Chains A and B, each alone.
Chain A
Amino acid sequence: MSRVHDMGGRFGDGPVEVDAKDAPVFKEDWHGRALALTLASAGLGQWNIDTSRHMRERLSPQDYTAFSYYEKWLAGVAGLLVETGVLSAHDLQSPESDAEAHPLADRALTADRVATVLASGGPADRPSDVAPQFKPGDKVRTVAHAGNRFVDGGHTRLPSYAAGVEGEVVLYHGTHVFPDRSAHGLGEAPEPLYAVAFPATSLWVIAEDDGDEVVLDLWQSYLEPAT
């Protein structure tokens, strides 16, 4: 029931290819262009970061694996533009055709606003009436299956490798937008978010080192009290 992006713990990927120390930020000119197009398009306000991540996750496993990083971004932004109705598939096929100004054109990010927009960010913390059920030091267990409870095959941020595992709360981050709802137009539904530490020995059949830990940021909905 997982998707291809949920790859934590997977075997078979081989060594990490470390970039040269002086590697450019954008290896190809189009990489920077793809990133900038994605950020500028997001500025039209038709989707949020959770919708955007989910669009990339919905690429077929074949495409997700074959595409380079910025190809995934491009596929993501093209998909979002079509899914939200900003552009049609026909528009994408006819870049050379004449076109009229779009109804959203007055929202286009202009060069003079870029620095301010990037510097102002988009915080994910929100007031919430969901009370924190846990505090640092509490033992918790993640739900048995990683998956969206509202939409079949929907977005979630509980990786499969960390489902059904007992850990300990190490930080409380306040109340944050809940991606499982936010990615699907089901509201922001902010709720408590915690950093939870899991012993490597609980996560893996054979742990690399018994004393090691993995910490994940997890929403309260992913957690139950450990018994």
Chain B
Amino acid sequence: MAHDNPHSDDPHHAHAHLPPDPALRVKALETILTKRGLVDPAALDEIIDIYQNKIGPQNGARVVAKAWSDPEFKARLLADADQVLREMDIYGRQGEHMVVVENTPETHNMVVCTLCSCYPWPVLGIPPAWYKSDAYRARAVREPRKVLADFGVTLPEGTKVRVWDSTAEVRYLVLPMRPEGSDGLDEAALAALVNRDSMVGTALTSFPEGTV
């Protein structure tokens, strides 16, 4: 394979100078960078802790539940998501320019990044493996309905699909439809119904959860 015989002046083969096992490769790189004072291992622990435990789809679920509960909030969210999310203290890396797109009986929205793995981190966290997979990246734009079928989702007859390919620094969040029968629920109970995939557009929401 190409990375077994690197050209030493080829930066895109630089990885070939590191050990072949990826876990050891990370460790080697961390060791080198730490020794030179370029990386603080405690800062790495902190980054991992934040994305593992603090920033995740619970943020997006809070936004969706509020939009389902408050029509004025929803209107502002759809018109200027950046402003509204900042008011909720949701902002940061990979979510600097946000647009929220609303699912309706007429239109189902779905988000992909065919060129890499762009994803709205501050509202959804780090993307799941399927979102970054070749199969999803390749197929979501050409056959979104067959991709939805892989997730067990069938759209009602007459619903059109709009796929958003995240080619710039704008990040998209899908506002799923509020499930029928959820009328009496407060925001916290509604937030519990909102699953991550429904905010990417590869799942629907239901009440009680799991009935779709």
A interface residues with partner B (beta carbon < 8 Å): 5-11, 13-19, 21, 23-30, 32-37, 39-41, 44, 49, 53, 55-56, 58-60, 62-63, 65-66, 68-71, 74-75, 77-83, 86-87, 89, 91-93, 95-96, 98-102, 104-105, 108-111, 113-115, 118-125, 157-159, 161-162, 171, 173, 176-177, 179, 193, 195, 197, 200, 203-204, 208-209, 211-219
Contacts and interface: CB of A to CB of B under 8 A. Distances in A.
B165 A214 contact: yes
A122 B48 CA distance: 19
If over half of A's interface residues share one DSSP class (helix, strand or loop), that class is named, otherwise mixed; here it is: mixed
B165 A16 contact: no
Interface size class of B (residues with CB under 8 A): 35 or more
B105 interface: no
Contacts of A7: 114, 134, 137-138
B1 A124 contact: no
B48 A33 contact: yes
A8 B115 contact: yes
8 contacts: A8-B142, A9-B142, A19-B128, A32-B47, A44-B38, A53-B116, A75-B14, A111-B42
Interface of B: 1-3, 6, 8-9, 11-15, 17-18, 22-23, 25-33, 35-40, 42-48, 50-52, 55-56, 91-97, 99, 112, 114-117, 122, 125-126, 128-130, 132-139, 141-147, 150-151, 160-170, 195
A49 B93 CA distance: 11
B32 A213 contact: no
B195 to A, nearest CB: 8
Contacts of B165: 8, 159, 162, 214-217
